[in-house]
Amino acid sequence: MELFPLDPGKIKNPGQYKAFAHIANASGIAVIIDSDMIVTGSLNPLVAQARRGGICAFANPIDDRWYAQWKDIFALQHPPRRQTYICSGFVAFSTDVWPNLLERWWRACEAIHSHPTYQEGSEWDSPTAQSDQDALNAILMSEYEVDAISLAPVEKQVYRWDFRFLETRDRHTLDCRFQGQAPLILHAALTSKPWEERGASNDTYFVFMRRLLLGPDVAIKVPPRMLASVIAPGIWPWVRRQSCFLKNMGIMEFCLSYLPPATCIRSRYVKDRLREIYLRVRGKYAHPPSATRLLPEIQASDQV
């Protein structure tokens, strides 16, 4: 394993350096994984898609993102066509089949180094709000054929808004279940991140994250001084961790998170269902806002 340091003084948005494998002269199968992803099993099935010549990636939850402005922003060869917008958090492809993709992606990211992304306060509908992800999709929509993309099975990735429904089976082997399926990637997309105090939550991702950072058998050991307070070992970090869980999750979710996993998930489904029923009933019997506004005027006219 070889680590490549990047000059932090030159990095505005680290995501725009995702294709740095280009400057490392990567060869063979390139697999690019976001640092907020936890891989729970073998990537062989996805790597196999790349070996067969596909650019393997997952469809993005919002998969119809598209902007005509991308042609000028990224100096595309052709206007971008509409197709499935992919998530750049996981991308695998053969550099033998696609020898220019890393360099083209790198150059496209360079073109928007000065453009603010959503992480710097940009509006979500800005053509470059998604940073490296917009750059990659713009290239694929313009300079590569539609069938170049090999979509990964959607059930193999779980996003953070569904972490509360993950069932932890074995923290040591990273075994978990989501709706009866064994996911391959847990993706803590968006902000705040689970290792930050504002994003910490007592769920499967957090349990696995601490196991991967603190486990005695991990390949890369992180010095304790570099760990955030909610992750670090010790009694006071534990107290701080519980405080953050309670603040971020609310007392009901916090209490449910300490039930046995299967019971916890069933309880959450029941809780969500009861909330739906409550909101439906409340909406059915609530007075329409327009009637409330007209009532004083009607009463005044009656008095006249």
Least confident stretch, 66-70, 204-208, 296-300 = 296-300
Query: What sign does the dihedral 121-123-124-126 (CA atoms) show?
Result: negative
What angle do helix axes 132-143 and 101-110 make, rounded to 10 degrees? Answer: 130
- With contact defined as beta carbons under 8 Å apart, do 163 and 157 qualify? no
What integer is the mean pLDDT of 250-259?
93
Q: How much is the pLDDT for 121?
A: 74
Band (258; pLDDT cuts 50, 70, 90): very high
- With contact defined as beta carbons under 8 Å apart, do 197 and 230 qualify? yes
- With contact defined as beta carbons under 8 Å apart, do 226 and 238 qualify? no
Beta strands 86-94 and 29-33, pairing class: antiparallel
The per-residue pLDDT for range 89-132, each reduced to its tens digit, is 999 999 999 999 999 999 999 898 888 788 777 788 899 999 99
Q: How much is the pLDDT for 1?
A: 67
**More confident site: 207 or 262:** 207
Cα 93–87–52 angle (5° rounding)? Answer: 25
What integer is the mean pLDDT of 46-52?
96
What integer is the mean pLDDT of 224-228?
88
Q: How much is the pLDDT for 247?
A: 96
Q: How much is the pLDDT for 9?
A: 67
Q: How much is the pLDDT for 150?
A: 97
Give the whole-angstrom CA distance, residue 302 versus residue 281. Answer: 32
The per-residue pLDDT for range 145-172, each reduced to its tens digit, is 999 999 999 999 999 999 999 999 999 9
State residue 86 phi and psi, 5-degree precision: -100, 160
